[in-house]
Homo-oligomer: A and B are copies of this chain.
Amino acid sequence: MKAFLLRYRTILLTGLSLAGMLVLLRWLELRFLIFDHAMDFYIGAIAILFTGLGIWLALKLVNPKTVIVEREVLVSPSSDFQLNEAVLNQLGISKRELEVLELMAQGCSNQEIANRLFVSLNTVKTHSSRLFEKLEVSRRTQAVEKGKRLFLIP
């Protein structure tokens, strides 16, 4: 409720001042002019009612304005990487194993790698096991680190 009041303070104030002005008008009218009052009252009620309707319509049906705040994300220039085939052959790493390594480096889980390569989870495990042996590591993070050092992955 508090938040609501704060948020729509301006609108509420406007509404209140509107009402105040109508009251003032009425008073002035009574004071100085002897007219047909029922009519004006009626019109005023309609005006307020339809103003409310308009506000409700707009709030209900119109998409809120959006302010786009851009947050910069730094990205290294992906360009000059070429694979070190010498090391690749020397260690006897197969194509499939290299593919697994690449996906590992992108942060994929074994299951995700399996899905991407259209093979079973067990197959990925086998490949990664062999890969770890050949790279002489025991964890995927180490494999990625070593892979980068040896220019097997960008």
Contact = CB atoms under 8 A, between A and B. Distances in A.
A43 B87 CA distance: 59
A84 B146 CA distance: 24
A125 interface: no
Given A7-B63, A57-B55, A74-B151, A107 B69 contact: no
Nearest to A10: B61
A24 to B, nearest CB: 11
A54 B61 contact: no
Given A66-B64, A69-B68, A139 B109 contact: yes
B69 A69 contact: yes
Nearest to A53: B51
A65 interface: yes
Nearest to A63: B7
Interface string A1-41: 00000011011011101110110010001000000000100
A interface bracket (residues with beta carbon within 8 Å of B): 35 or more
A141 interface: yes
| A11, A68, A77, A105 interface centre (most CB from chain B within 10 Å) | A11
A119 interface: no
A10 B59 CA distance: 13
A8 B60 CA distance: 12
A73 B149 contact: yes
Contacts of A141: 104-108, 140-141, 144
A60 to B, nearest CB: 9
Given A63-B64, A73-B150, 10 more contacts: A11-B14, A11-B61, A47-B49, A48-B50, A58-B58, A64-B64, A69-B71, A72-B75, A73-B75, A75-B77
